[in-house]
Amino acid sequence: MKLTPEKLTAFCAALAETAQVSKACMAVGISRVSAYKWRRENLDFALAWDEAIQVSVGVLEDEAIRRGSEGVDEPLMYQGQFTPLVDYDATDPLTCERYIPQLAPVKRNPDGSPMYATVKKYSDTLLMFTLKAHAPKKYRDHASIELTGKDGGAVQFNDTEKAARIAALVALAQQRAAGAAQTLDDIADLI
């Protein structure tokens, strides 16, 4: 199949919207193999692809921020069943003085289907990753290991000490290979 400007535009539009190569391929009626071949062989297609991915990443980031800050409604469940929204109309004799859950009228959608209770869920994780992406120096994970020598200076070994440590590590590796059990004290003595 030949790459045409129309196919390039349609593919990249679908890729920008979905962030999924498979869906973009289906939208144009090509295989993933063809898409990746075009990407390898056509610089314009590769650049348009990369731009479409950048657009889709922006859309995904917007959705992550929305879910983290505005939340999403998730159905409320009780004992494995969706919880229906009950119509608490005071004119209904069943709900006026005495509430009987099994007999209470259920609120309905315009299409007649029952409405279910929902709970708003927020995603701290999505917000955390969004912050890390936008301000990596400020929100990155800070972990470091420093090995220092005397008075905080560089660790210094002379050639004899280096050879002794290497020999101890080789001996330890040989013992482990032979199946010998070592305790922490034994290992500390070798090093």
pLDDT single digits (tens) 34-63: 999 999 999 999 999 999 999 999 888 888
Alpha-carbon span 63 to 56, nearest angstrom = 11
- The pLDDT assigned to 48 comes to 94
Kindly state the average pLDDT of the residues 169-191.
68
pLDDT single digits (tens) 166-176: 899 898 888 88
Alpha-carbon span 175 to 165, nearest angstrom = 15
Alpha-carbon span 151 to 149, nearest angstrom = 6
Kindly state the average pLDDT of the residues 93-97.
51
- The pLDDT assigned to 188 comes to 55
Residue carrying structure tokens 């020598």: 149
* CA angle at 114 for the pair 110 and 116, rounded to the nearest 5°: 115
For the chain, domain boundaries: 5-69, 72-121, 150-190
Bridge partners for 84 per DSSP: 116
| 32-41 and 21-28 helices, crossing angle to 10° | 100
